[in-house]
Amino acid sequence: IKKFEEEIDEKQKQAASLENQVSILSNNIDKTQAQIDSNNKKIELTQVEIERTNLEIKQKEEEIIQQKNILLAFILELSKRDEENPIEIWLKNNSFSDFLDQSQYVENLQKKGQETLDGIEALKDDLDWKKQTLKADQEQLEDLKKDLGVKQIALETQKGEKEEFLDQTKEDEESYHKLLKQAEEEQAQVN
């Protein structure tokens, strides 16, 4: 009787140990699944960021084209004004005041042209920065996808290990129940 009681205690300890191992495997699977979910969210956010950056790049390119067209108009106007002889300009105007206004107008055109050129350079710098950001986001996205693939493989492996362990545990449990039943029957006979 004492021998069977010791065997029963041993099997109960093994059962508790098996439950702990199953719990550990389940926790590992849950942790890996949470990491996969987190990576999926990061991938989604990165893709949204890439789309937003692409849109901003397109807008900057359109702004640059518009600014170039404005600059071209300034250059054409300045070129037209430069071709005129100062005496010709003087004769076209009715007064010295009109001549000075005309000179001021040309000077303002030159300033506006320079401001537009500076604006184009700033837009190009911003565009280059956006393209670098886009490249970094795309690299991050690729890294996240690789990591996601690794984690999914790990998850499948962990699930397989758990299934194997549960199958083995079922077999052990069945033999434990047989042994327990046998011990209980023998104890009942002894009683």
The HSE-up count of residue 66 (CA atoms within 13 Å, CB side) is 8
CB atoms within 10 A of CB 71: 18
* pLDDT mean for each 10 residues of the chain (191 residues): 73 74 84 89 90 89 88 79 62 59 71 85 89 90 90 90 82 76 80 75
pLDDT digits 0-9 by tens, 118-151: 888 988 898 889 899 889 988 988 998 999 899 8
According to DSSP, residue 84 is labeled S
Q: How many CA atoms lie within 13 A of 2 on its CB side?
A: 0
Angstrom distances, CA of residue 105 to CA of 46, 75, 91, 96: 50, 13, 17, 14
HSE-CB for 117 with a 13 A CA cutoff: 10
